[in-house]
Amino acid sequence: MPEAPPTNDLAQTFQRTLIVVAVVIGVAIIWLAHEVFLLVFAGLLLGILLDGLAGLLSRVTHIGRGWSILVTILVIVGIIVLLVNLVAPGIVVQVRSLREELPKSIAQIRQYLSQFGWGQSLLEHSPALGKLRSMAYGGYSPGLVSKVTGVLSLTVGIVVRIVLVVVLGIYSAAEPAMYRLGFLRLFTRQDSGHVEAILRAVHMRMWWWLVSVAGSMISLTILAFIGLKILGIPMALTLALLTGLITFVPNFGAVLSAIPPVLIGLMESPEKALGVIVLYIIIQFLEADLITPLIQRQTIRMPPVLGISAQLTFGLLFGFLGLLLAAPLMAGVLAILSSISGEHVLTPEDLSRQLPT
C-alpha cells in the first residue's frame, strides 16, 4: 500500500520559505527607504525624550500628562532660543574675523613650514593650504552659483527633515498608548504580551541611552570650557556648547567638534592652535575611554567596541544620518535581544538601588 504524502513536511517547508521571502522583502524595503525609517526612528527617539522628561516633571509637580508635555516642550524651546541668542552674535563676529585673519595665519604656517625640508615637501604635495587660502580671500570659482544653489537646497532639505522629526516626536509623546496598541494589533493575542514587553524594554533602553548621552554632553561641555578658558581662546563658552552638542555622536563627535576651536586658535597663533589640538585629544580620550563607557555601563550596558562597530557600519551604509543614529539603534537591538533571551533590562528602580544612600 503506498505511503501518504508528507503533507506536514510540505507545509513546514512552505511556511519557512514564506518567512525567508518576507525577511528578504523587508530588508529590501528598509534598504530602499532607509532614510524614511531613520527619520521615523529619530522622531520616536525624540518622543521618548519628551515622554521621559514629562514623566519626571509630572512626578515632581503632580500635574497632568498633557500639561507636563506642553511645559516640557516650552522649556526646551526656551532653552534653544536662549542658546541661539547667546551664541549666534559671537559666531557671526568670529566668522567675520576668521575670514580676515585665517589667510594671515595660513601664510604664517606656510612660511614656518618652508624653513624645513620636510615642510617644503609637505607644501609641494599638499595643495590644500593654497586652496583654503584662496577660498578665505574670497576667490571666485566658475561653479560658485551652482554650489550656492546646492547649499540652499541642502539647507531646505535639512529643515524639512527636522520639522518632520519634531512633529513625529510630539505626536508619539502625546499619545504613546494609542500607537503602541495599534502596533500590538498586528500580532495575535498570544504573542501580543511578549511583544509589548519587548516594546517596553526598548523604550526603557532608549531612555537610558538618552540619559547617558546627556551626561557625556554635559561633562565634555564643562571640560572644553575649562580647557579653552585656560588656553585663552575667544568664545570659550560658545565653542564648549558646540562641543557638547556634537558629542551627541559618540566617539566621533569630539573629533569633529575640534575643528572650530582649532581654526579660531589658529587666528591667535599656531601655538594656541596646537594647544587646542592637544586639549581635544585629551577630551577625546576621556570621552571614548572613561566618561561614555562608565555612564553607559551603568545605564544601557553597551560594549564600546559594539558601539563603534555599529557607527562604522551604519555610517558606511546610510551616511551621516546612519552615523548619528547608530548608537541608539544598537541600544534598541540589544534591548530586543535581551528581552528575547530573558535577560533583565535595567530600569530606573534598579539604577536607584545601585546608587549610594
Segments of the chain scoring below 50 in pLDDT: 1, 4, 135-136, 139-141, 144-145, 344-357
Of the candidates 167, 207, 191, 190, the one whose C-alpha atom is nearest the C-alpha of residue 348 is 207
Task: For the chain, give every domain's residue range.
Answer: 34-174, 178-344
Question: The pTM is what?
Answer: 0.71
CB atoms within 10 A of CB 27: 10
Three-state secondary structure string covering 246-286: HCCCCCCHHHHCCHHHHHHHHHHCHHHHHHHHHHHHHHHHH
Per-residue pLDDT, 226:
92
Residue 98's Cα: distance from chain center in Å? 28
- Residue 11: C-alpha distances to residues 14, 111, 190 (Å): 5, 78, 22
**Stretch (H or E) spanning 74:** helix 65-113
Concatenated DSSP letters of 274-333: HHHHHHHHHHHHHIIIIIHHHHHHHHT---HHHHHHHHHHHHHHHHHHHHHHHHHHHHHH
Q: What share of the chain is helix, strand, coil (3-state, %, to 5)?
A: 85, 0, 15
Per-residue pLDDT, 122:
63
The residue to which cell 514623566 is assigned: 55
Interatomic CA distance for residues 108 and 273, integer angstroms: 13
pLDDT digits (tens, 9 = 90+) for 154-213: 777 788 888 888 898 888 888 888 888 888 887 777 777 888 888 888 888 888 888 888
Interatomic CA distance for residues 105 and 90, integer angstroms: 20
Interatomic CA distance for residues 310 and 330, integer angstroms: 7
**Half-sphere exposure for 116 (CA within 13 Å, toward CB):** 8
Per-residue pLDDT, 346:
47
Helices 34-61 and 189-231, interaxial angle, to 10°?
80
Interatomic CA distance for residues 85 and 143, integer angstroms: 34
